[in-house]
Amino acid sequence: MIKRQTGIDMIHVPYTGASTAMNGLLAGNVTMFCGPLQLALQHIKAGSLYALGVTGPQPSPLLPGVAPLADSYPGLVFSNFYALLAPARTPTAVTAMLHDAFKKISSDPDVQSKLVSFGYQPVWISGAELSQRIASDTAKWREFIAAANLKAQ
């Protein structure tokens, strides 16, 4: 997606995971890496890596002054999110109880602080908003995969 949006000619170098890709970057085997902020943060702070941008829709509080790529390339947003899901036939009383309990936990300042220290930007959204996010992300990636003619290997 970065290649298509920016017009930069680059080659994808597959690694078995983010840690091995980070090691490849630190060793000079590759010149760029796009992955979890938590993995790169210590190297950025140590000065061994330079942050070009963040891929989320907002700047990260952990990287003040580093703009989202979407500021220069609208639509270039991709970020992870974690969600709590239950089977479709779970009784409403159970999902309501779980919703309320997890919302209370996630709004605790200590929990928020700990998540931010790990590089997460915790945001609580409703089940309806989550369903919309999943639907819009699925459509976005489906369109991108088709346009880029990507195939599973």
Query: Which tens digit of pLDDT belongs to each residue from 35-72?
Result: 888 899 999 999 999 999 999 888 888 888 999 999 99
CA distances (Å), 28 to each of 12, 31, 33, 49, 117, in order? 15, 7, 11, 11, 28
CA distances (Å), 29 to each of 16, 109, 132, in order? 15, 41, 39
Residues 108-117 pLDDT 10s: 999 999 888 8
pTM of the model: 0.72
Residue type at 34 in one-letter notation: C
